[in-house]
A and B are shown apart, each in its own frame.
Chain A
């Protein structure tokens, strides 16, 4: 570029700045929200999530915004670590001046941010973390959680598993940290309640992303089980499935598997997805309701891609906050929190209510069996399991909240 054209470019840029500034001043000051998630660390799950809330944002602003003001989301990477996430949360709150935050995926990030929210008295809607400590033992007034947690999803699978008469000897395989441990503990407890004859005869605890699948499959096989409960996901799941198939682990056995019906985790397996597994997930291709159809259509038009569970979570999360502010009639934090408690939001998968007792939403999940259709994993024989039927009752919640 020559000098002259540089000058021109600068002049043009300045002009744009000035005019847009003027335009901004005319419009209503936007309502700013802070959003952060593991966009670089766990892109497979979080990019669809971002598309989800982006769609919601556009819908809201097209419909005139919230309280007559446009909504603006300031989005950040959370660095996929608690310390980095706290720095980002602090940046959003202190520098950007937002006092409502949503997002996060990893449980330990969610837990750290929820405590930050309590300390700084800002609202935090933990969109995706699965740990139930967020709602119960570590719960606080400033933190809400949208996605159904480990306990609820394990309960759904336990219910299905209990129906299988000849599945008596169970083995479990789960990642070796809180998520896996809580899922296995809940599954064991709930299944034993329904089926006292069930025994658990073996367990495997691979490190997240570190599975030695051959050895793990061998060890499970050696316990000679009737059924397997799986909590591994991501590339661990792929490895587990491949080794299990080659070594015949799944032949004639029941497998119940957490999250494995969610497109983000199962679609990479393509035609190799295991058939017959009982899973929780999101059969976006088969949900036939007007609300979901309209969501699906809009989503596919906008992003030229199909939604994942994360998309749904992002979409509902932002709509929840928008509605809470609308209902509160203000953007003031305490009022929005008050309004979010007990609030019911219409969503593509039906109404979602944030319970007052633990500020956990009763968003449900889909339970069904995996199969492969046209080279892609699909859930069949599925049903929608509303979260309210699986969440512990108030008395139990109080007990859990008391414990640490």
Chain B
């Protein structure tokens, strides 16, 4: 298996707050790595550092062997990094299908075309992709009025349009009913395994984490305190103390 992502010594401070301190992460193709930790642990910040939205103070991010620090998000996306946001971001004035069509237009570098209807471009592909995330029926709804869980799925479809090698999913199931959660996670893992996509995701729902992650990395106050297979992490005493305590007790 090839290494998709290699993060070393990643660090970022906001003023006095050291949000991320010296984090290392590795990801292989087809692997799902869950990044967990309490609120404010620095998970989203890690994502923002990896996809270029924030510039790290220190450390390196290598994607497919290439150093991507300093590149803007759009360039990193071009290299094959798809992303969903903690607070989902879609194009509210467009329909779900048009959102996916946008992703295809960008993928095929057709953004600057002045002629032709964008509404007709990659329509079939967009519909197919929506079908895969079980959103076909909602294709013509405006993204701005979709239910929260649907928006998350839409984001997933948009990320997939580019055929990414790495998917960054920030709390993909937040705001969903348990049933919906399970189905989305199952769907995601099916897709990524089939296509060999590496997934880095955060999640507060431990069911989802422990049933889908191949590996788990635990962040606490910006530091990685554990990294390993689910059962190893579950047993880790530091993790239990700082975060998983309640969860460990429950299971």
Determine direct contact between A and B, CB below 8 Å: no
